[in-house]
Amino acid sequence: MSRELIEAFNEYISVNKGLSSNSINAYINDIEQFFNSLKKPLLKRDSSDVIFFLSKFENKRTLNRKLSSINAFYNFAKELEFGVVDINLVSAKVPATLPMYLGHENIMEVVGNINIKNWLDLRDRALILFLYATGVRVSEAVGSNIDDIDGIWLRVRYAKGEKERVVPIAKTALLALQLYLNERGDSNPNIFVNYKKEPLSRISMFKIVKKYLGVSPHVLRHSYATGLILGGADLRVVQELLGHSSLLTTQIYTHIQKPHLKDTIKRYHPLSKENLWVEQFV
């Protein structure tokens, strides 16, 4: 029964909920892992079984993701009346840590130092600038085609949850892309390809960014968002550009904004420039 239930859940989140393939895989992998943790049938388990399973994970983000999958599974079972198991535990509190990001000068210095010997080097430079200029996820970059670029605009088709959005591409990144595509010389519709002129994989993109910058491609997404926030962009605009379904996800970048705002006041507000004694106002 448990196996059939997992298959039904897979179909439910694929068809009814329309989740992305990455999300579906994550949910099913979590449920499979939970199922294999005990010999007890899924519909015979309770909150203590869930707590026992989750106790193996120290990372709170991992724990919360697996708990979210389990809650979603049992909500599905309850909604479709497969069982009456009432499991809905509260997520562990995760500290609002600042996402890692790189400064603009750091990124541009690395890009400027790439030794261009062939079209693959041009591709590496174009990829880094593309990720930094658009803030797209690696999965979105992998799925991007040349036809998705219209002038300065990129149509992001393979977004999280299959939501389409349009983002502008900075002139520097567009120029790097054009130089790379001109030298590549093939008819593959994908923007980024490997040495065989086949679509570049997520792993290959990770390796390229890691090689030059020492970080994952997702750090460039954080760097993109950070640059916008520090430049004064509205949080809702950043939410739209990143493709976040909820503003709560984007709000983590407000932690970056606070010290920047304080520094801005110190540098530019007239009162901050005056040599006044505070005591005279007390």
Active-site positions read 137, 160, 218, 221, 244, 253
Tokens of 217: 């491609």
Residue pointed to by tokens 């519909």: 43
- 3-class DSSP state of 13: helix
Beta bridge partners of 166: 155
Q: Give the end-to-end CA distance of the chain in Å, rounded to a whole number.
A: 75
Spatial distance between the Cα atoms of 107 and 153, rounded to a whole number of angstroms: 22
Cβ count near 181 (within 10 Å): 18
Q: What is the four-CA torsion angle of 11, 15, 16, 21, rounded to 10 degrees? A: 90
CA angle 243, 246, 252 (to 5 degrees): 90
CA dist 72 and 279 (Å) reads 59
DSSP class of 92 = P
HSE, CB side, 13 Å, CA atoms: give it for residue 79.
Answer: 10
- Helical segments of the chain, H only: 2-11, 21-37, 47-54, 60-79, 104-112, 119-134, 138-142, 171-184, 202-213, 217-230, 235-242, 247-250, 254-268, 270-273
